[in-house]
Chain A
């Protein structure tokens, strides 16, 4: 039995916004071969959340987002340092960094348990279904509507602004980091800015989809879209489209089997990815290597 009411709309709308924010950043993380750094960041922000929560005394405070942002950048710096100075493999340095910071977060939650009412399950799994009852009510008692939706709108606006402003820098540093340093574009600064945006997006989204599933939204839609197109703008558009599709289908499938919406969204994106691999896996990737395709390409060249 399918229904479409105000709550359904709010949940699908918010989930789409979160999927779009994550997907946009995820495209550049994927192109930098740093998708798993996104995973590391999403876990490493936990101590920042706990400390921010401890200072502000509320889960909604700005301190939480700032704390998480700082820890996200800190994690990126440690990963870079381990890789470049201590010469640890990238995957190992990611594994060491985020497990350590995550463990610190868990210890902090337990140590501060009497002061911090932070639900570990909420941080890890999130629950977007509670969104319509989690309202933003001003001091004078005015009801603005669901709080997480506002967070998602603000987040997607900032992410879109960030990518629009730094589009050429993000593309260049993703393609050829050395060349960008040589021509004087601060590749390290751009990288840290991107990591800060990922940290902020993770924190902004974790109440809705949780710290684990947010990783899937960062990694899976861009990877799926990359199987279909090799052009940057269509890749970005397709990633956003997939985000919206995942939100809609995830909501109704979860409704159908009465299960977690975020879980269903990620399951749908996983299935979409597998289907794309199966369909595209049959096509040869490098057509120019095949002699019978060369004549076709030569023809294209003449038409150009």
Chain B
């Protein structure tokens, strides 16, 4: 079930990406509306991260194209922000929390120019939004996993973009951080920003996302949460993992039941 939209913020057309001749993404073709919180779901190895990397131009597709705001990536770079997986960097790097968040402003600053007071103020307000004000001068090697994730999100916020792509921002973070980040993302979409999140937890996906993309090398579904979230679609995405599926079916039956909130 694939719902195409008019005036999409992001359009992906017949995208094929392969590593070493073995394709990881096959004919992925979808478009998404603006101002929504969008989740990309799929099992391990489904190509979720590869899809975000292809959107950000970090891997070159074998065929197909990506259009953001109806333009190529190069033309709208400053309007898109990216949160890579937390494990993709070495957190022993000698930098403070403020240093890392300021990096988000470097794209607009251009070559050779030094960040000044304006950039510092942007970074501080972004740290405030993620609730990390008391860690401004802490070295990043002394942060916990959830705090590292908040720093990465603050860095993306400092880019002041319109479209945000986040690769597994909830991997290895605790429940309170997850809820806090989801609330922040909701606030962002309320302000008209679009947020795409690679996610692995079907349960929280049902509760939070407006629009869901299901991926397992092929595109399985793309559409509004209430239309896409069905047992049939999940079975197509996750294949024969029945154990998981029975659990999911139960959850769908009691859609409003959230054991962690009651």
Contact = CB atoms under 8 A, between A and B. Distances in A.
In the complex, which range does the number of interface residues on chain B fall in? 35 or more
B225 to A, nearest CB: 28
Contacts, number: 88
A182 B56 contact: yes
Given A168-B106, A179-B103, A232-B99, A174 B93 contact: yes
A11 to B, nearest CB: 32
A176 B142 contact: no
Interface string B84-108: 1000111011111001100110110
Given A179-B103, A181-B57, A286 B77 contact: no
A175 B89 contact: yes
Nearest to A33: B90
Contacts of B94: 31, 226, 229-232, 235
A175 B57 contact: no
Contact of B89 (A87, A176, A184): A176
A232 B139 CA distance: 10
B75 to A, nearest CB: 11
A244 B183 CA distance: 53
A174 B94 CA distance: 11
Contact of A172 (B78, B88, B106): B106
Interface in A179-222: 179-185
Contacts of B134: 301-302, 304
B188 to A, nearest CB: 18
A196 B95 CA distance: 25
Interface in B79-130: 80, 82, 84, 88-90, 92-96, 99-100, 103-104, 106-107, 109, 111-115
A119 B20 CA distance: 46
Contacts of A165: 112
In the complex, which range does the number of interface residues on chain A fall in? 20 to 34
Given A176-B89, A178-B88, A301 B135 contact: yes
Contacts of A231: 94, 96, 139
B58 A168 contact: no
B224 to A, nearest CB: 28
Nearest to B102: A168
A166 interface: yes
Contact of B142 (A167, A232, A297, A302): A297
A178 B142 contact: no
Contacts of A59: none
Contacts of B95: 171, 175, 232
B136 interface: yes
Contact of B82 (A179, A287, A288): A179
Interface string A259-286: 0000000000000000000000000001
Nearest to A234: B94
Contact of B111 (A31, A179, A185, A230): A185
A201 B34 CA distance: 51
A181 B107 CA distance: 9
B159 interface: yes
A57 B57 CA distance: 47
A174 B80 CA distance: 22
A178 B107 contact: no
A184 B58 CA distance: 11
A167 B113 CA distance: 10
B111 A169 contact: yes
Nearest to A87: B20
Interface in A60-110: 87
Interface string B49-81: 000000011100000000000000000011010
Interface of A: 31, 33, 87, 165-169, 171-172, 174-176, 178-185, 226, 229-232, 235, 286-288, 297, 301-302, 304
Interface of B: 20, 56-58, 77-78, 80, 82, 84, 88-90, 92-96, 99-100, 103-104, 106-107, 109, 111-115, 134-137, 139, 141-144, 155, 159
15 contacts: A87-B20, A168-B113, A172-B103, A175-B93, A178-B56, A179-B84, A182-B82, A183-B77, A183-B78, A184-B78, A185-B111, A232-B95, A235-B94, A286-B142, A304-B134
